[in-house]
A = this chain, B = another copy of it.
Amino acid sequence: MSGKNIIFFVLLLFIPVSLAAHFLEWGDLIVFVAAGLAILPLAAWMGTATEEIAVVVGPTLGGLLNATFGNATELIIALIALKAGLVGVVKASITGSIVSNLLLVMGLSMFLGGLRHKEQTFQPIVARVNASSMNLAVIAMLLPTAMNYTSQGISEQTLQNLSLAVAVVLIVVYALTLLFSMKTHTYLYDVGVAEAEDNEGSHEQPNIWLWTGVLLVCTLLVALESEMLVDSLETATSQLGLTALFTGVILVPIVGNAAEHATAVTVAMKDKMDLSVSVAVGSSMQIALFVAPVLVIAGWIFGQPMDLDFNPFELVAVTVAVLIANSISSDGKSNWLEGTLLLAAYTVLGFAFYFHPVITSIG
């Protein structure tokens, strides 16, 4: 058994720990930490199960599965937080997922990859299409916020309507980017796919029933653990002296994206930058073009007023993250200094969110 698997099994122990902490009332802080750790191996297995099923059902359906379940953990946590009325945390975790994928994950990949390899390259056309998609996502998040800022007396209903209309546009665009990468322009993405297969190594045909079972069990457990995580969040973070904003933007995304972080960094060190960049940028695209709009629509269905009117400071964070990530990735080359610049941007943003004096309720 590899070292990675041992860590996973140890982390699984936090499932009973978190349950015990919850029912025996050991305190919200312990529930919060235990549930956060318990989610990590479950998220990793959901990723593996999705990939294994994808091998059996073929590239088209498999790609679709991957695209839908790729951020399943974040989506589950966010849906539960949304149902609990924690709209502020949901928005913060959208912001944070985008920022941490573009700056922390891509920065660490380029930095550690760049320490081993003087200059690393990846497909610039794919990077550009991704960059433009992320620009669109920023525009979609910017407009409702800017509208709220530049006009007096805008009603919550109008923001809701605008956000719903924008959400539908984003989901359509997301579907079209899948069509582009999986049907009409697959050749642009071939390097990344080859790297992905190469990374997994040759293995026999996976057992689809086994993996579907794993996927279902893990999804159930993640729901369960997320519920405890969300319930304990408010008390636990205030005990740690952290604001809800910091928790949502910095802490939650690290739990939710741990699996992608590990993959992107590992393959970057093997000089497979196409795969590494596509994991990091692809994950933020999924959040922006699929998860966020789904949450807007879910909020409308739940009767929770989830719109795309963000805290202006969160918007500043997403905008600068997208701009600097685009500026670094658009030439299809990277080195350790570029990784450092992304990490420095993340650090500076982290400080800013830490010091930001948000006193608003997290709801």
Contact = CB atoms under 8 A, between A and B. Distances in A.
A118 B151 contact: no
B153 A357 contact: yes
A147 B352 contact: yes
B161 A331 contact: no
A318 interface: no
Contacts of A180: 335-337
A151 B327 contact: no
Nearest to A128: B331
Contact of A316 (B124, B142, B311, B324): B142
Contacts of A311: 150
B357 A136 contact: no
A151 B313 contact: yes
A143 B346 CA distance: 12
Interface in A132-174: 132-133, 135-136, 138-140, 142-144, 146-147, 149-151, 153-155, 158, 161-162, 165-166, 169-170, 172-173
Interface in A286-336: 311-313, 316, 320, 323-324, 326-328, 331, 333, 335-336
Nearest to A360: B151
Interface residues of A, number: 67
Given A131-B327, A132-B327, A313-B150, A345 B139 contact: yes
A97 interface: no
A363 to B, nearest CB: 18
A337 to B, nearest CB: 4
Contacts of A327: 128, 131-132, 135, 326
A288 to B, nearest CB: 12
Contacts of A185: 118, 335, 337
A176 interface: yes
22 contacts: A125-B331, A128-B328, A129-B338, A131-B327, A132-B328, A136-B345, A136-B348, A138-B320, A139-B345, A142-B316, A143-B348, A143-B351, A146-B313, A150-B313, A158-B357, A162-B351, A162-B352, A165-B355, A166-B348, A169-B348, A172-B344, A180-B337
The list of the 7 closest CB pairs from A to B, nearest first, reads A180-B337, A143-B352, A150-B313, A150-B312, A162-B355, A165-B351, A139-B320
